[in-house]
C-alpha cells in the first residue's frame, strides 16, 4: 500500500514537471511539428521564395472555419505589406503567444497560429468552426404555452439565449476548464449583487478542485460537485430550457453551463423544485396550484400504491372490505405466485418496456410501449401469472409517475417503489411507514451547495410556502425565496 501511494506521488510529480517544462519551453516551428506528427488534419503552411507573404500558418483543418480563414487571414495577406499584415487582418481578436503550452491550447481550441519571422512574433487568431444544432423545441420539458426554444451543444449560443432574457450588466460569467483530456469549457453564471456570494464561492471552489480526464455531459460535472453522490436524488437540477435558467438566476441561484451539452445545471435546489414546471408561472395561479398538488399526490401514489396492495393482500387482508375481498380472491384463485413476486415480476417487465421504448427509434417507441403493455398485460392475466387488480394498479402507478416533470426524479421514483415493495412484503403497512421515515430522513440529510435539500420545510421558512405546494399569485410574491438568502431581497426595483 505504501509503495502504491509512493508510486502515485511520483507519477503526479512527473506530470507536474512535464507541465512546467511545456510552459517554460520556448516556442518554435520544430517543436510544433513534433506535436502535430501523425495528424492528417494538421496544416503547416510555410512561405516559399515566390510567395506573397513571409508568414507561417499553422492550424487544425477540422477545428477551424475555412471560409473565415480565407476572409480574415488569406485575403489580408494578399493585400497588405509584410510589416502591416497583422494590423490589417479582419479577425476580431489577435492574441500573442509565447510558450509551446499556450500554443497547443490555442491550436486545439480552434485557433490559427501565425509566425512572423521578421519580428520573431507568434500570434493566435480564433476561428473555431461553430458546430452544433439550430435552436429547437425542448423534448424533455415540453409545455403547451411559453417559450419553445431550448439549449444546444454550443456554449456561446446557450449564454446568448440567457442574456437575451436578462440584458443586464450584473449578469456575470466566469469561465473554467475541466477535464485533462476533454479540455471542456465550464461557465458559471450569476447576477452580481443578488446571488448569495457563498453559493458562487462554493461552486467555483468545487469546480477548481475537480481532477478528472473527461467531461461530456453536465451530469458528470454535477457528480463531482455534489456532497452526496451516492444518493438517488439529484442535487443539481438539469434543464435545457433558457427560461428556466433565467428565472432561477432571478431568484438568486447560479447556473453552470458545460460545452458540448444542451443541459445546464441549476443550483442550489430543493426536493420541491423537482416538481415545478415552467408552465406553473404561465397558468392562472389556482390552476397552477392544483396541478402542482396533483404532482405531489401522483408521486405519493406511484411509490406506495403497489406496496400497499402487497401489504394488504399479504399481512392485512382483514382490513379489506368484504366486497372488494371477494373480487381479490376471485382474481387470485389460480395464481402460482405470492403477491410480492407477482408485483415484482410485473414492475420489472414494465421497466424493461419503458427502457426499450426509450432506446427504440421515435416512430417505433410509441407503438412498442402501447402494444407491449397491452399484449403482455393481457397475456399475463390469461396465463395466470398476474391478477386483473394488480394490472390496473400497475397502470395507475405508472401513469402517476409520468406527472413528475424532472426525468432524473422519475428514475429515482422507480427505485423507491422497489424499496417500499420489499419492506411491505416483510412488515406490511408498518414497512411502508418505515420506508417513508427513512425517505424523509434521507432527504433531510441532503444538501445542494451546502443548502438544506428539504427547505423550506426543514428548516422552516414560512414566507416561502407561498410558492411551495401551491403557487401563489405573482402579485403577492414580492420577496425572493428566503431559504436562498439573496443579497437583494425584494423583487421590485422601487419600494412602494
Query: Which residue's C-alpha cell is 423550506?
Result: 456
Closest-CA residue to 242 (of 175, 132, 159, 153):
159
Q: What is the pLDDT of residues 261-287, one digit of tens each?
A: 999 999 999 999 999 988 888 889 999
pLDDT per residue as tens digits for the range 321-379: 877 777 777 777 777 788 888 889 888 888 888 887 777 766 555 666 666 666 677 77
Read off the pLDDT of residues 390-411 as tens digits, 9 standing for 90 and up: 888 888 898 898 888 888 888 8
3-state secondary structure of 407: helix
Residue 257 has what pLDDT? 94
Whose cell is 422552516? That residue is 460
Distance in angstroms (rounded) separating the CA atoms of residues 209 and 204: 9
3-state secondary structure of 92: coil
Asked if 260 contacts 156 with a C-beta cutoff of 8 angstroms, the reply is no
User: Are the CB atoms for 123 and 86 separated by under 8 Å?
Assistant: yes
182, 236, 188: which is closest to 212 by C-alpha?
182
Ranges of H-type helices in 226-361: 242-251, 285-314, 322-331, 339-359
Q: Partners of 83 in the beta sheet?
A: none
pLDDT band at 55 (very low <50, low <70, confident <90, very high): confident
Proportion of the chain above pLDDT 70, given as a percent: 86
Q: Residues for the chain: how many in total? A: 496
Q: Which residues contact 257 (CB under 8 A, 6 or more apart)?
A: 155, 158, 159, 186, 187, 189, 218, 264, 265
Tell me the CA distances in angstroms from 123 to 325, 441, 449, one per residue in order. Answer: 83, 58, 40
**Percentage of the chain with pLDDT > 90?**
32
Average pLDDT of 416-433?
Answer: 93
Mean pLDDT of 9-18: 47
Q: What is the pLDDT of residues 439-454, one digit of tens each?
A: 999 999 999 998 999 9
Cell output for 149: 426554444
Q: Are 59 and 108 in contact (CB under 8 A)?
A: no
Residue 402 phi, psi (nearest 5): -75, -10
Cβ atoms < 10 Å from Cβ of 399: 12
Task: Please give the grid coordinates belonging to residue 478.
Answer: 414580492
Amino acid at each position: 500500500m505504501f509503495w502504491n501511494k509512493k508510486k502515485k506521488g511520483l507519477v503526479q510529480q512527473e506530470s507536474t514537471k512535464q507541465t512546467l517544462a511545456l510552459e517554460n519551453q520556448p516556442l518554435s516551428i520544430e517543436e510544433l511539428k513534433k506535436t502535430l506528427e501523425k495528424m492528417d488534419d494538421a496544416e503547416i503552411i510555410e512561405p516559399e521564395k515566390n510567395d506573397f507573404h513571409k508568414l507561417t500558418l499553422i492550424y487544425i483543418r477540422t477545428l477551424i472555419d475555412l471560409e473565415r480563414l480565407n476572409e480574415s487571414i488569406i485575403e489580408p495577406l494578399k493585400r497588405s505589406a509584410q510589416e502591416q499584415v497583422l494590423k490589417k487582418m479582419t479577425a476580431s481578436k489577435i492574441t500573442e503567444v509565447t510558450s509551446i503550452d499556450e500554443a497547443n491550447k490555442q491550436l486545439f481550441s480552434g485557433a490559427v497560429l501565425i509566425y512572423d519571422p521578421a519580428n520573431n512574433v507568434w500570434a493566435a487568431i480564433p476561428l473555431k468552426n461553430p458546430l452544433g444544432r439550430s435552436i429547437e423545441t425542448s423534448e424533455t420539458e415540453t409545455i403547451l404555452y411559453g417559450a419553445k426554444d431550448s439549449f444546444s451543444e454550443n456554449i456561446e449560443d446557450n449564454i446568448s439565449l440567457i442574456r437575451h432574457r436578462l440584458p443586464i450588466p450584473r449578469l456575470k460569467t466566469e469561465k473554467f476548464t475541466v477535464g485533462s483530456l476533454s479540455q471542456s469549457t465550464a461557465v458559471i453564471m450569476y447576477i452580481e449583487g443578488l446571488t448569495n456570494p457563498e453559493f458562487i464561492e462554493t461552486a467555483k471552489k468545487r469546480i477548481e478542485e475537480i481532477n478528472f480526464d473527461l467531461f461530456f455531459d453536465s451530469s458528470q460535472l454535477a457528480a463531482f460537485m455534489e456532497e452526496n453522490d451516492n444518493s438517488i436524488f439529484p442535487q443539481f437540477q438539469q434543464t435545457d430550457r433558457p427560461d428556466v435558467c433565467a428565472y432561477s438566476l432571478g431568484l438568486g441561484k447560479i447556473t453552470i453551463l458545460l460545452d458540448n451539452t444542451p443541459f445546464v445545471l441549476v443550483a442550489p435546489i430543493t426536493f420541491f423544485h423537482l416538481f415545478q414546471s415552467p408552465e406553473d408561472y404561465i397558468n392562472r395561479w389556482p390552476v397552477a396550484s392544483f396541478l402542482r398538488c396533483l404532482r405531489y399526490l401522483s408521486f405519493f401514489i406511484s411509490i406506495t400504491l403497489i406496496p400497499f396492495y402487497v401489504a394488504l393482500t399479504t399481512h392485512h387482508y382483514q382490513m379489506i372490505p368484504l366486497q372488494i375481498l371477494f373480487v381479490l380472491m376471485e382474481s387470485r384463485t389460480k395464481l402460482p405466485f405470492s403477491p410480492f413476486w407477482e408485483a415484482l415480476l410485473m414492475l420489472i417487465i414494465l421497466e424493461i418496456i419503458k427502457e426499450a421504448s426509450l432506446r427504440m427509434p421515435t416512430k417505433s417507441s410509441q407503438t412498442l410501449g402501447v402494444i407491449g403493455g397491452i399484449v403482455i398485460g393481457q397475456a399475463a392475466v390469461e396465463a395466470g401469472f398476474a391478477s386483473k387488480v394488480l394490472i390496473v394498479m400497475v397502470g395507475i402507478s405508472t401513469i402517476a409517475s409520468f406527472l413528475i416533470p424532472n426525468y432524473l426524479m422519475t428514475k429515482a421514483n422507480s427505485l423507491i417503489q422497489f424499496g417500499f415493495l420489499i419492506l411491505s412484503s416483510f412488515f406490511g403497512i408498518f414497512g411502508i411507514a418505515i420506508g417513508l421515515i427513512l425517505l424523509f430522513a434521507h432527504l433531510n440529510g441532503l444538501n445542494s451547495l451546502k443548502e438544506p435539500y428539504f427547505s423550506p420545510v426543514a428548516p422552516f421558512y414560512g414566507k416561502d410556502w407561498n410558492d411551495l405546494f401551491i403557487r401563489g399569485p405573482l402579485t403577492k410574491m414580492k420577496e425572493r425565496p428566503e431559504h436562498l438568502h439573496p443579497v437583494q431581497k425584494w423583487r421590485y426595483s422601487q419600494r412602494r
